[in-house]
Amino acid sequence: MKNVTMISRRSFLKAAMAASAVSALAFTGCGGSASSTVAASSTASSAAASAAAEGGQTFKVGIVNYVDHASLNQIVESVESRLDELGAEKGVTFDYADYYANAQADQSNLNQIGADLVGDGVDVIVAVATPTAATMLAAVEDTDIPVVYSAVTDPAAAGFDGEENITGTSDALNTEAIMNLITAVNPDIDTIGLLYDLSQDASTQAIADAKAFCDANGIKYIEKNGTTTAEVQMAAEALIASGVKAVFTPTDNTVMTAELSIYETFTEAGVQHYTGADSFALNGAFVGYGVDYVQLGEATADMVAEILCDSKTTADLPYQTFDNGIVTINTETCEALGLDLDTVKEAFKPYCTEIVEVTTAENFS
């Protein structure tokens, strides 16, 4: 893949291994479609990768991240870690380090990344988030390169369900459960804020479900939107000014990117921020609920290995959904809001299977 400095974090390592040396390796291990030769300009992704390749096959795995933020980074790290484990188990190499790119939420970047990966002849593309998956699917249209997505909230609405050459994992949110968390702590609440990016497909169904919940329970809602961190900050301030005491955000990439910039604003105003992923809470939000993104990434990597090593097709692997029912409470934020942690946990118990306590961290794995 071409070196696009703005979007790639790939390690460009020593070019000590010529393509002829790589192609001469005896291929053992799992079968399936793989790259048996490497262009002369290619380099090994790492010393460990080249050593592993001596015992088996090497697969080119493109990994495309939509934007740099905690939730999606967590998925990428989990995919990579699991691929390393599976490679060791199966005696093969999954070369992802040479084929990773981050689009930084820019569609033109996504288009270029897709074209580059197809040009590189990757064996599979892992697409993180809905816009990424849609663009990668378009990029591989005239090829047999499969796309395995991760963190696509509504695959059917995105048009992926039943589409050839694509499958993956969904982080669909149980919106009713998280709305129940809000009313469990605030039984007399009369208005809930909804903070999201209108352009984020991942938010569409969850926001519709949140509105339906409010309507059914006689609760008013106030919507505020933003497409950039600055706009999200202004939207958060507008919700505070409107007097809401609780705000709901689904698995929205834009708000997740802004969470470190807004959580203190909410906390200082006494506003509880309930969100659709544990990573929001790790970045300061009061509560995160839903899918374990480490588990999501591992399941995504497992699907990649099944396609490359077990001769499975995307048609053989229906997309997976998860209902972890895990509540993540930021204990620092809970205290700053003047809430008693034990009381909150007791109120949450009927609506989840597990409660996890965290503190704020800018980066985590």
The pLDDT value given to residue 353: 86
Same domain, 277 and 219: yes
Helix, strand, or coil here: 356?
A: strand
Asked whether 147 and 133 are in contact (CB, 8 A), the reply is yes
The alpha carbon torsion through 132, 303, 34, 61 (nearest 10 deg) reads: 40
Q: C-alpha angle 103/106/111, rounded to 5°?
A: 75
CB atoms within 10 A of CB 328: 24
> What are residue 249's DSSP bridge partners?
275
Same domain, 335 and 216: yes
Instruction: Write out the residue range of the structural domain in which residue 134 sits.
Output: 19-171+293-321
Same domain, 186 and 311: no
Give a yes or no: residue 122 inside a domain. yes
Give a yes or no: residue 187 inside a domain. yes
Give a yes or no: residue 44 inside a domain. yes
Per-residue pLDDT of the chain (365 residues; tens, 9 = 90+): 543 433 443 333 323 333 333 333 333 345 443 433 333 333 333 344 444 444 589 999 999 999 988 789 999 999 999 999 999 999 999 999 999 999 999 999 999 999 999 999 999 999 999 999 999 999 999 999 999 999 998 899 899 988 999 999 998 889 999 999 999 999 999 999 999 999 887 788 899 999 999 999 999 999 999 999 999 999 999 999 999 999 999 989 899 999 999 999 999 999 999 999 888 999 999 999 987 888 999 999 999 999 999 999 999 999 999 866 899 999 999 999 999 999 999 999 999 989 999 999 876 54
With pLDDT > 70 as the criterion, what percentage of the chain qualifies? Answer: 84
Please tell me the distance from the alpha carbon of residue 287 to that of residue 271, in angstroms, as a whole number.
12
Q: What is the pLDDT of residues 271-305, one digit of tens each?
A: 999 999 888 999 999 999 987 888 999 999 999 99
Nearest to 99 by CA among 78, 88, 113, 85: 113
Look at the block and give the residue holding tokens 């390393």: 84
pTM above threshold 0.95: no
Asked whether 267 and 284 are in contact (CB, 8 A), the reply is yes
Give a yes or no: residue 6 inside a domain. no
Same domain, 163 and 259: no
Same domain, 129 and 39: yes
The pLDDT value given to residue 202: 77
CB atoms within 10 A of CB 317: 18
Please tell me the distance from the alpha carbon of residue 289 to that of residue 251, in angstroms, as a whole number.
10
Same domain, 162 and 304: yes
Q: What is the pLDDT of residues 80-91, one digit of tens each?
A: 999 999 999 999
Asked whether 65 and 37 are in contact (CB, 8 A), the reply is no
The pLDDT value given to residue 29: 44
The pLDDT value given to residue 310: 95
Same domain, 164 and 218: no
Same domain, 209 and 349: yes
The pLDDT value given to residue 292: 83
Nearest to 195 by CA among 132, 258, 150, 268: 258
Query: 55 Cβ partners below 8 Å, 6+ apart?
Result: 28, 29, 91
Give a yes or no: residue 209 inside a domain. yes
Look at the block and give the residue holding tokens 């009713």: 176
Give a yes or no: residue 364 inside a domain. no
Same domain, 205 and 60: no
Give a yes or no: residue 57 inside a domain. yes
Q: What is the pLDDT of residues 204-243, one digit of tens each?
A: 889 999 999 999 999 999 999 999 999 999 999 999 999 9
Asked whether 127 and 149 are in contact (CB, 8 A), the reply is yes
Give the CATH number, domain containing residue 25.
Answer: 3.40.50.2300
Same domain, 306 and 241: no
Q: How many domains does the chain have?
A: 2
